[in-house]
């Protein structure tokens, strides 16, 4: 089967805003969310900044029992899914629980909650540990909690493909619907990594920015003075739906998913393949499945974490994949706004790219003060602007050399 798959609902909890409109308002506002960490004492660490969600109230989305039982990772998964469900105008009875799937990605799952409970264990023994610990730390907890919440009895898959997890979840759910395995899917990513040891592990490998005196400008994709990413928390879920199923119930699609590609560098756990060829191939595979020529792409939302090696390798990969069209291709990296929410980032960026297509506006690369000469992208957008985007690409790359790319487009008749 070769069915068309559209996005009919968007949910998001991010450091710049929550819900579809809150996220988009944050993108349009253009104010970076980086700040000194307040969740714990960051003074022992080289990096002391993050992008936190400070306005999330679990009770706005969960009943009292759920709020007590679930850790932050699962809470964010459920809240974003609820937003997406409502935005799409869906209910369990309206879409059929057996023909609906849940695909959620997370690099770390409930590991931060496990860290908190381990401290209780060391200080006070096993009786002090939350009984829900064993059910919270595994990577599939987000997907299965969402499935139970909405009575979804189709596939419920949680993946842990590092910082590409959210994009891969959406790509695999797209394939499932395209091939007839489901009519509807909740797909995206969730991450809640802000705990001392979890955060410190990334500081230890020098992956994060140490611009502690200027946290708002620490995440600076493609800038010549970038020195690492700003860790963030967040969640984004989109409703994917077979086109005819969506139209039959009167849904309004925001965009269509046209293609998906994923490859592996097979090179290094943290460093990207310097040649960029496998990241380029993930884009090319996605374009081929979409039946789209590089010259037809009107916007590219880059992974662009603000790491010295990563941004340069991605810029090279974009040049390889798009050839001469790279001179006309608008590119931006939006992590300067909300930092890097690891496995949730790809899903957040699918949501942003979808809204860019739907609303005709390309977001800027915030904190791009001096473009790096090693990132030779002619149309690297330092400011946002109106644009009629018919086809867009979004990338997500992760530790272990995992590459994922998605092609999105306007919904044509």
**Which residues are known catalytic residues?**
163, 303, 340
Q: Residue 229: which of 215, 249, 209 has the closest Cα?
A: 209
261, containing H or E segment? strand 255-264
7: CB partners within 8 A, 6+ apart? 238, 239, 240, 241, 253, 254, 255, 256, 257, 350, 354, 408
Q: Residue 387: exposed, middle, or buried by beta-carbon count in 10 A (0-12, 13-18, 19+)?
A: middle
Q: 3-state class of 260 per DSSP?
A: strand
Spell 336-356 as b/e; 16+ CB within 10 A means b.
bbbbbbbbbbbbbbbbbbbbb
Question: From CA 20, how far away is CA 12, in angstroms rounded?
Answer: 6
Pairing label, strands 299-301, 17-18: unpaired
Place of tokens 């969402």: 146
The four Cα atoms 176, 178, 183, 185 give a dihedral, to 10 degrees, of 50
Q: Residue 159: which of 170, 151, 148, 145 has the closest Cα?
A: 170
Question: From CA 277, how far away is CA 371, in angstroms rounded?
Answer: 22
The four Cα atoms 243, 249, 251, 253 give a dihedral, to 10 degrees, of 0
Question: From CA 169, how far away is CA 161, in angstroms rounded?
Answer: 9
């Amino acid at each position: 089967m070769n069915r068309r798959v559209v996005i009919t609902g968007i949910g998001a909890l991010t450091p710049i805003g929550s819900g579809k409109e809150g996220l988009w308002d944050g993108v349009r506002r253009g104010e970076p969310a980086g700040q000194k960490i307040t969740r714990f004492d960051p003074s022992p660490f080289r990096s002391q900044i993050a992008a936190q969600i400070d306005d999330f109230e679990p009770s706005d989305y969960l009943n009292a029992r759920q709020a007590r039982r679930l850790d932050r990772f699962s809470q964010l998964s459920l809240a974003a899914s609820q937003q997406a469900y409502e935005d799409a105008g869906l209910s369990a009875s309206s879409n059929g629980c057996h023909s609906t799937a849940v695909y959620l990605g997370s690099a770390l799952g409930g590991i931060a909650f496990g860290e908190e409970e381990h401290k209780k264990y060391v200080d006070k023994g096993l009786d002090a540990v939350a009984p829900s610990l064993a059910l919270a730390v595994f990577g599939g907890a987000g997907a299965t909690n969402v499935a139970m919440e909405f009575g979804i009895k189709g596939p419920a898959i949680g993946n842990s493909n590092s910082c590409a997890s959210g994009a891969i979840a959406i790509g695999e759910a797209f394939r499932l619907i395209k091939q007839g395995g489901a009519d509807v899917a909740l797909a995206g990513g969730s991450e809640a990594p802000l705990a001392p040891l979890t955060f410190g592990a990334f500081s230890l490998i020098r992956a994060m920015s140490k611009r502690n005196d200027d946290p708002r400008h620490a995440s600076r994709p493609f800038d010549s003075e970038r020195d690492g990413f700003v860790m963030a928390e967040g969640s984004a879920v989109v409703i994917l739906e077979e086109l005819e199923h969506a139209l039959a119930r009167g849904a309004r699609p925001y965009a269509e998913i046209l293609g998906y590609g994923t490859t592996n560098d097979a090179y290094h756990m943290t460093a990207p393949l310097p040649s960029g060829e496998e990241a380029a191939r993930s884009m090319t595979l996605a374009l081929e499945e979409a039946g789209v020529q590089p010259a037809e792409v009107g916007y590219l939302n880059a992974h662009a974490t603000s790491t010295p090696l990563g941004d340069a390798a991605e810029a090279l990969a974009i040049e390889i994949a798009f050839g001469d069209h790279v001179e006309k291709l608008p590119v931006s990296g939006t992590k300067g706004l909300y930092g890097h929410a690891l496995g949730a980032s790809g899903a957040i960026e699918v949501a942003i790219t979808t809204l860019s297509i739907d609303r005709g506006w390309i977001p800027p690369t915030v904190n791009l003060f001096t473009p790096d000469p090693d990132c030779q992208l002619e149309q690297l957008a330092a400011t946002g602007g109106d644009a009629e985007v018919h086809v867009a690409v979004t990338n997500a790359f992760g530790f272990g050399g995992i590459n994922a790319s998605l092609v999105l487009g306007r919904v044509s008749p």
